[in-house]
Amino acid sequence: MKDRIPLSIRDDLGTVEPYISPQLPARYRLNTNESPYAPPEALIAEVTEELRAAALNRYPDRDAMSLYSAISKHIGWPVEGLWVANGSNEVFMHLFLGFGGPGRKALLFEPTYSLHSLIPKIASTVVVNGSRTQSLHIDLDRAVKTIEAERPEIVVVCSPNNPTGDCEPLSTVAALLEAAPGLVVVDEAYAEFAGPADTVRPLLGKHDNLVVTKTFSKAWRLAGVRIGYMLAQPALIAELARVRLPYHLSTITQVIGTAAIKHSTETLQLVDALRGERDRAAGALAKMGLKVHPSKANFVLFEVENADRVWKELLEKEVLVRNYSGSPGLENCLRVTAGLPEEMDAFLSALEEVL
């Protein structure tokens, strides 16, 4: 094969780095915020039976009505105000294909989930970086001034924020909604691990420019299935049909998602266990003398001296965590996902030895 490609990539993608989440061999994988628990056996059994009867030789239901109806009923939001896709990342891609693009801007607040800047860039949207306070919350005064100066079409908020862990106050989100000339998109991928007072859902009925995104990958224990969705005003949802590929939700995805809603009580019952492991890890890390950032997600961000060395030596002990020490604002930070009790025991024991 020749080394020369027949066509160069778009100029504006030349500096875009692909998203990479290290998948290294390790006995204890605590780096990607997946649930350590498999889906309930009853859910798996129902999906197996459904798929035996499914006509996989035929295209899936284009509008995924069973899945949409199940989600609508579960969350109490009209079907017309829902958008479902292959993970919340695809939801973001659809949003930026539809409402971003050349000449438009997106404001986000680093450090945050890296796809929030990568996806707009892929969609030829200019990314404007806002700022955070020393507590790693959004600096609201500066955010409002940036909105006034830049007039971004889309403002992205992650709450609980990944990788820092804490939620933004509802008063902050409400102020951004008032100031923003366009959409404010709040990523609530980890909201089930926070408290009921932390969700921005109550603001949906008050602000037509609010979009809330959710996922089945974390608390719902279905990272391998790739289901995400968003809640917004029906008029906005109707516009997204312009950028959706045909039959983008497979029959398998629709069957699993609909069954997951049916088994939601059983599926979500282990959220409290993960909260407990998160808090136990945070307490143990603090007792080691480490700075621990408050978290309402299923992970803990903490600081250590020489984080690169610590990360490497943990991996040598078969414990894989996420290294953020090279990210601006997160120098010397590592992030550990809440896992099974025995996984967290192994992590804490290994870290004590390394330190």
Domain ranges of the chain: 11-39+269-354, 41-266
pLDDT at residue 31, as a whole number: 96
The yes-or-no verdict on residue 1 having pLDDT over 60 is no
Lowest average pLDDT, out of 14-18, 21-25, 114-118, 132-136, goes to 21-25
Whole-number Å distance between alpha carbons of 283 and 354:
18
Q: How many helices (H) and strands (E) does the chain have?
A: 12, 13
Place of tokens 């951004």: 176
11, with CB counted inside 10 A (0-12, 13-18, 19+), is exposed
pLDDT at residue 2, as a whole number: 63
Whole-number Å distance between alpha carbons of 141 and 235:
31
pLDDT tens digits, 301-334 = 999 999 999 999 999 999 999 999 989 999 999 9
H helix runs in the chain, sequence order: 41-53, 65-75, 88-99, 115-122, 140-150, 170-179, 234-240, 251-262, 264-267, 271-287, 307-316, 341-354
pLDDT at residue 20, as a whole number: 77
User: End-to-end alpha-carbon separation of the chain, Å?
Assistant: 48
Cβ 230 vs Cβ 7: under 8 Å: no
pLDDT at residue 67, as a whole number: 98
pLDDT at residue 224, as a whole number: 96
pLDDT tens digits, 251-309 = 999 999 999 999 999 999 999 999 999 999 999 999 999 999 999 999 999 999 999 99
pLDDT tens digits, 229-241 = 999 999 999 999 9
Share of the chain above pLDDT 70, in %: 99
pLDDT at residue 157, as a whole number: 98
The model's pTM is: 0.95
Cβ 28 vs Cβ 320: under 8 Å: yes
Query: Do the domains 11-39+269-354 and 41-266 sit in the same CATH topology, yes or no?
Result: no
Under CATH, domain 11-39+269-354 is a member of which superfamily? Aspartate Aminotransferase, domain 1 (3.90.1150.10)
Q: Which two tokens stand for residue 63?
A: 């509008």
Whole-number Å distance between alpha carbons of 125 and 96:
8
Mean model confidence pLDDT for the chain: 96
Average pLDDT (98-118) is 97
pLDDT tens digits, 41-99 = 999 999 999 999 999 999 999 999 999 999 999 999 999 999 999 999 999 999 999 99
The yes-or-no verdict on residue 4 having pLDDT over 80 is no
Strand partners, 29: 320
Q: Which two tokens stand for residue 93?
A: 């891609």
Strand partners, 323: 334
pLDDT tens digits, 196-252 = 999 999 999 899 999 999 999 999 999 999 999 999 999 999 999 999 999 999 999
The pairs formed by 268-275 with CB atoms below 8 angstroms and a separation of 24 or more are: 268/192, 268/219, 268/220, 270/35, 270/37, 270/221, 271/192, 271/193, 271/219, 274/35, 274/36, 274/193, 274/219, 274/298, 274/338, 275/193, 275/338
CATH classification (class only), 41-266: alpha beta
pLDDT at residue 178, as a whole number: 98
